[in-house]
Amino acid sequence: MTKPAVGTPDPKDVKILRVLKKDARATIRHISKSTGIRPSTVHQRLVRLFKDGTIRRFTIDIDEKMVGLNFTVYMLIAGKLDRYLDKEIIGNPNMVELSGITGEYDLLMKLKFHDMEEFNAFVIAFRERYADKVTKTVTMVQTIGLKDEGIPI
């Protein structure tokens, strides 16, 4: 039997990951019943998936409205990455995602705030701090979240 190519997940691993994606607290027994894979095999595969970095962490899916962080902003930024990509930006508690992108802009930030005032304070501070490093920005406010499923496993 041939091994799948690097980056191509094994079908049994995919079955396990699909169960965990729905419920990261699923027990080995539940995963075994859901996938038809023996519990000992599920356990061995989970250990391997965690060790090899396929599974980076087990987390929760929080209702943003319930914690008051449902004001979502996307910000496109152009400039020199090495001049403004620092610990303060990367470690900002409002930063949900940060991606280097191609095209007219260099970065795409996804940020979450409690309200417009908190967002406004962030934008003012950002502009002051990076005025000489960022050439332009475009800011978009999310009006409705239609789908957010993570990776398509």
Query: Digits of tens for pLDDT over the chain (153 positions)?
Result: 455 556 677 999 999 999 999 999 999 999 999 999 999 999 999 999 999 999 999 888 888 888 888 899 999 999 876 666 777 788 899 999 999 999 999 999 999 999 999 999 999 999 998 888 889 999 999 999 888 877 777
- Measured CA to CA, the distance from residue 132 to residue 18 in angstroms comes to 46
- Which residues lie below 8 Å from residue 34, measured CB to CB, with a gap of 6+? 15, 19, 26
- Report which secondary-structure segment, H or E, holds 51: helix 39-51
pLDDT given for residue 36 in this prediction:
97
- Measured CA to CA, the distance from residue 113 to residue 4 in angstroms comes to 42
Q: Which of 107, 113, 146, 114 is nearest to 130 (CA)?
A: 107
- All domains in the chain, ordered by first residue: 11-51 (1.10.10), 71-141 (3.30.70.920)
- Residue 84 neighbours by CB distance under 10 Å: 18
Both tokens of 140, joined, read 């978009």
